Structure 1
Amino acid sequence: MVSKLSTNSTLSPSYGSHPTIITDVQISLSPTNSDTTCTLFLHYELPPLLFVDPYELELRGAEYQVLETRGRGKKELERPVHALPVNEGDDDEEVGVEVVIQRTLPAETTAPARVELPIHVRYGEPVASSTSKPYTVQEFSGPTVVLTCSDELLSCDRTTTLPQLLLDTIPTSFRGSSLCVALQSPDQSLAISAPLGNTVDLPTVELGTTAVVLACFAWVAWEAWRAGARLRGGASSKVKSN
């Protein structure tokens, strides 16, 4: 069986706080036996600015299975990027969360497959200058995609070194099968634009926040006084009528 595997990943949209990594997988296989089953494994390596919500991924169980997530910020879903924990002895601060997912292909293995991974953007570290750009552009790579089939007749380039987490995560039952690997081309890297706060605006924000809180407190106090006055007025009317 001759195999060709190629992928193309895009980000939709390329801005905002809740984009989706869309990976289209093109598979070209010669006719297979009816008993042949093929499976895709996708390994994502996200920068610290990005993360996945494990509870959201659970809702996609009909599309794929999440085998493993690990890395900085795996559990700290609400923390800004500059407040993420740094593991002792971890020198690679450019890597955040890694995700490995598995998708079993239908019998029509030659049909294109699309995998969508929803991601989220953390608050970036604020800039400290009025001349700094109010946003940052984060580049990152699409997923490493592995195709494996049960008949062990795939003919692929096996010179590619797989990420360690992917090697550790692929179930034992697939490790005896031959693997086809597809990497995102470097000139097809993904990029997202994320807004940044500015510490120059901090006094204005603090003053505005204080004013809003005091105004809300005054409004609540005023409404409470008015309600009390109405209740007292109603009670006085009843006493006079009696």
Structure 2
Amino acid sequence: MASLSSRISGDGFHFTVSTTIHIPDTLDLTHRTLHVVHDLDPHIYADQYELAQRPGYSSVLWGTTDLEKPVSAVPQNGSVLLLTADTSHVLSGTPVNLTLEVPLHARYGRPVAGADEKDTFYHIHLRRPIGFVAGEIGSAAEMPAALRPYASFHGWPSPPLSLIPDTAPNDPMEVIIPVGVLQHLAWVDVGTAVVMIAMFFYLLHAALRTARRLSVKVKVSTKTE
């Protein structure tokens, strides 16, 4: 029976979730497709352009796709990422391990009201990826409960679908990101205003200096003629 395991590598705002699927007999994949679904918290996003360059799978993303906004400015239902593994290179009738690596990014979190150092970090608990096979030969089976929330998405694989057991379904997957402190926001606003005003006067000075230099060149050119 096939099985999968997942792990996180990397720290901070950029990290990778790797899911390895062990298939004892690749004959089980005949006329079937192999998938992994990631249900992403709103704190986490996947870059579609980055995913398109990854070998080993194709991907479809539903839900929040804006890459620039902080978590406070995006819908709180997150997004769903579906991977379809490329099994064209797999030799029939042999065991194989397929690893699908997904680069993910964390959004800027909401500032917290705390002065302690430990309060300036936010713990994001990721849902574990779900693996499944689509197109199983035989009579139609009931949709697995874990996949029912996604069955209505446009482009979702057609049933019958069968789950791939996770070897460690209860192991936590967690990312820790730094966040701002509410007490610091006033100073950030003041600092931003000072920088903007300074830049305005610098640009004004540069524009006036350039205008005077161009004016002198025009006068010199007129006298020469």
TM-score range, shorter chain: 0.7 to 0.9
2:69 corresponds to which of 59, 64, 79: 79
Give per-residue Cα distances to partners, 1:5-24, cap 9 Å, x unaligned.
Answer: 222212221x2323221111
CA-based RMSD of the aligned residues comes to: 3.1
Partner Cα separation in structure 2 for residue 220 and residue 180 of structure 1 = 61
Q: Secondary structure at the match of 1:98?
A: strand
Counterpart check, 1:113 vs 2:98: yes
Q: Match of 1:45?
A: 39
Mark the CA change 1:164 to 1:211 in structure 2 (over 3 Å): closer, same or farther: same
Q: Match of 1:164?
A: 148
Aligned-pair identity in percent equals 24
Q: Superposition pairs for residues 1-242 of structure 1, below 5 Å?
A: 4-13=1-10, 15-29=11-25, 32=27, 36-60=30-54, 63-67=56-60, 69-70=62-63, 74-85=64-75, 96-106=78-88, 107-108=90-91, 110-131=95-116, 133-147=119-133, 161-165=145-149, 167=151, 169-172=156-159, 175=160, 179-183=162-166, 185-238=168-221
1:100·1:166 contact (CA, 8 Å) conserved in 2?
Answer: no
1:143·1:184 contact (CA, 8 Å) conserved in 2?
Answer: no
1:141·1:186 contact (CA, 8 Å) conserved in 2?
Answer: no
2:14·2:106 contact (CA, 8 Å) conserved in 1?
Answer: yes
Partner Cα separation in structure 1 for residue 133 and residue 218 of structure 2 = 80
Q: Secondary structure at the match of 1:20?
A: strand
Deviates more, 1:231-240 or 1:206-215: 231-240
Gaps of 5+ in 2: none
Partner Cα separation in structure 2 for residue 96 and residue 237 of structure 1 = 64
2:135·2:158 contact (CA, 8 Å) conserved in 1?
Answer: no
Mark the CA change 1:165 to 1:103 in structure 2 (over 3 Å): closer, same or farther: farther
Give per-residue Cα distances to partners, 1:20-62, cap 9 Å, x unaligned.
Answer: 2111111212x749x93453111212222112233443444x5
Count of residues in Structure 1 that have an aligned counterpart in Structure 2: 214
Letter of the 1:205 counterpart: V
1:5·1:180 contact (CA, 8 Å) conserved in 2?
Answer: no
Gaps of 5+ in 1: 87-94, 153-157
Mark the CA change 1:230 to 1:104 in structure 2 (over 3 Å): closer, same or farther: closer
Partner Cα separation in structure 1 for residue 147 and residue 19 of structure 2 = 18
TM-score by length of 2: 0.77
1:36·1:151 contact (CA, 8 Å) conserved in 2?
Answer: no
TM-score by length of 1: 0.73
Partner Cα separation in structure 1 for residue 210 and residue 163 of structure 2 = 73
